[in-house]
Each structure stands twice: as structure tokens, then as C-alpha cells.
Amino acid sequence: MSPDSEDSPSLATSIVRGLRLRCPRCGEGRLLAGYLRPVEHCSSCQLPIGEIRADDGPPWLTLIVTGHLLAPFMVLIFMSDALPLWLATTLMCLLAVGMCLALLPRAKGLFIAAIWKLGAAPHSEEDSAAD
Ligand SMILES: [Zn+2]
């Protein structure tokens, strides 16, 4: 099943599956073997997930989302005197690190799913020729 075949999921479905850390083609197999290392092949449909390189996309997206979500809170907290500076700084750092750790694998899933669905994976032309 190539990314463009009729029974292939839509781009939105593939991305949702990637965000859920599932195979973008079948939605059944796991996407990542560890925290960020993709599995070689989907355990359900044998999609070669390990060949899809997300490169710098996931960290870029993680930092963009984290920065935009935390910036208003940072302004509010540091403009008011509700919290001592050391406590506000500590809380913002912990929140930023926690958000990055939570978002990074999902961003990787999103990029892997989008790359596969848009046919930018290394063997997507071979897959298309085989179907
Ligand atoms: Zn699969």
C-alpha cells in the first residue's frame, strides 16, 4: 500500500496516528521503539518506519509550540509579584522541560507520518511502483 493508494489513510488520519505514536499506515503497530528511536518496521503492516528520517523537524516544532504556549505565562508571572523570582523561574523551567519531553516524541510521530503520507520517504517511489 503506497501513501497514495485508495485504501491509504488521509493525511489527517496519518498525522493523528503519528501523534498517537502509532504506525501512520495501519494505526496498529508502535511507531517508536524507545523514547525517540523509530522501530525498523511496523509490527502489523511491515511499513519500513526506520527508513523515514524526520531530522530536525521534531525539535523545531517542539520548541516553537513550547515557546508560544509558555510565553504568555512567563509574561504574566514575571510581571506580577505573586511569586518570588526564584520560584517563578524554577516553575517555568520545569514546565518548559516537561513540555519539551512530552511533545518531542509526538512531534517526531507527526513528522514521520507526514513524510510517509506525502511520499518523501526514501522508498516511497518503489512502493508506488509495486502497487
Ligand atoms: Zn503499520
What does the pLDDT read at residue 122? 75
Q: How far is the CA of 95 from the centre of ligand 1 (A)?
A: 33
Tally the domains of the chain.
Answer: 1
Nearest to 24 by CA among 54, 65, 66: 54
Residue 11 pLDDT > 80: yes
Residues forming beta bridges with residue 22, ordered by sequence position: 30
What pLDDT, on a 0 to 100 scale, did the predictor assign at position 81? Answer: 84
Span 81-94, mean pLDDT? 91
Reported pTM: 0.83
Q: Is residue 115 part of a domain?
A: yes
pLDDT in the model for residue 1: 55
C-alpha of 90 from chain center: 27
Indicate whether 117 belongs to any domain. yes
3-state helix, strand and coil shares in percent for the chain, rounded to the nearest 5: 55, 5, 40
Domain span including residue 44: 11-130
Residue 131 is predicted with a pLDDT of 46
Say which residues have a Cβ less than 8 Å from residue 15's Cβ, sequence separation at least 6: 24, 110, 113, 114, 117
Q: Compute, in angstroms, the gap from residue 25 CA to the centroid of ligand 1.
A: 5
